[in-house]
Amino acid sequence: MAKKVPTIMISEDKALSVSKPLKRYADKLKGLAPTIENDLIEAGININYRDYLAAGILVVGLLTGLLVGVSGLMALIAWKKQLLTMNLGLILSLMIIVVPLVYMIYFANYPKLQAQKRKKKIDEKTIFAIREIMIKVGSGEPIFNALLDIANGDFDVVSDEFKITVEEIQTGISQETALGNLSRRVPSQSLKRAIDIIVNTIKSGSDIHETLALINDMLIKKQQSDMRAYAGELTPMSMAYMLVSVVMPSLGMSVFVILGSLAHMNIQDLIYMIPPFLAIFQIFFMGMVGGRRPAIGV
């Protein structure tokens, strides 16, 4: 299970409880993630954004204190061994400033990253869930029974969200309101659109089964369109990969060898830099290709 708060050196519960006096500073940090309130909802993190950012301030403070202690110890050891230089002092000072700042930016945007992960999981299961509801309603079962089947089914995050909806209905909230709450909670535009259409159909008294069939077709066409767009992106991406990982190292090596021999330059260090560069590039490329792949459930 993903952490609700990306804490270090302290537990989530402890960070949220100890950081309460820091809530007054939370609004000043909201600029790092202006949509954090909505991101927390869509990420399934049931924490007020002020509490969340206050915990971030506490964690960053602890991290800064740790870095100050470690840097001070390193500087002291270097001074005693007469190794302390201006460059070392500058590096340690930058580490104390940059690392907490980067971590705070990551902390503020963590809900958005989690919402994006949930969106992919939901998109993969949405079409199966809608199809299940369509089959149940088409066989004569009430819409609530279909929602209950989804909640108890194996639809990953979609089932978790429908469980909340079913619980709300069982506590007396109307189906339309509970489904509207579901639409606001989920980060998936496909599921939002499907739920909104279902709610409007229920309110108007139209044929829900026919509407679900149209939604099912709509989702299938959207995923097919996403796959075609992704396939179109792969062609230039593969060409760029071949250029950087195959053509540039081979031709570049030849050019550097020729220029180095003409200019009497030592290019050995440059040659040693090529394998690490290629390894980093391939890791980055695989992450980019995987990240752009659409969530497909058909």
**Would you kindly state where each structural domain of the chain is located, as residue ranges?**
12-116, 121-219, 233-292
Q: Rounded CA gap, 43 and 28, in Å?
A: 22
Percent of the chain past pLDDT 90, that is, above it, reads: 16
Q: Which residues have a Cβ under 8 Å from the Cβ of 296 and sit 6 or more positions away?
A: 124, 223, 226, 227
Give the pLDDT mean for 35-57.
Answer: 89
pLDDT tops 70 at residue 174: yes
Spatial distance between the Cα atoms of 113 and 109, rounded to a whole number of angstroms: 7
Q: Report the share of the chain in percent with pLDDT over 70.
A: 91
How far apart CA 77 and CA 96 sit, in angstroms, is: 17
Q: How far apart are CA 60 and CA 282, in angstroms?
A: 32
Given a cut of 70, is residue 48 above it in pLDDT?
Answer: yes
- What's the rounded Cα separation, in Å, for the pair 2 and 45? 10
The answer to whether the predicted template modeling score (pTM) of the entire model surpasses 0.85 is no
| pLDDT-derived band at 267, boundaries 50, 70, 90 | low
pLDDT at 159: 92
Across 77-81, 170-174, 197-201, least confident range: 77-81
More confident site: 268 or 37: 37
Distance CA 39, CA 90 (A): 37
1 pLDDT band, cuts 50/70/90, is very low
User: What is the predicted pLDDT for the residue at 58?
Assistant: 92
Kindly give, in sequence order, each residue whose CB lies less than 8 Å from that of residue 157, ignoring residues fewer than 6 positions away.
Answer: 44, 118, 121, 122, 125
Tell me how many degrees the CA angle 170-173-174 measures, rounded to the nearest 5: 105
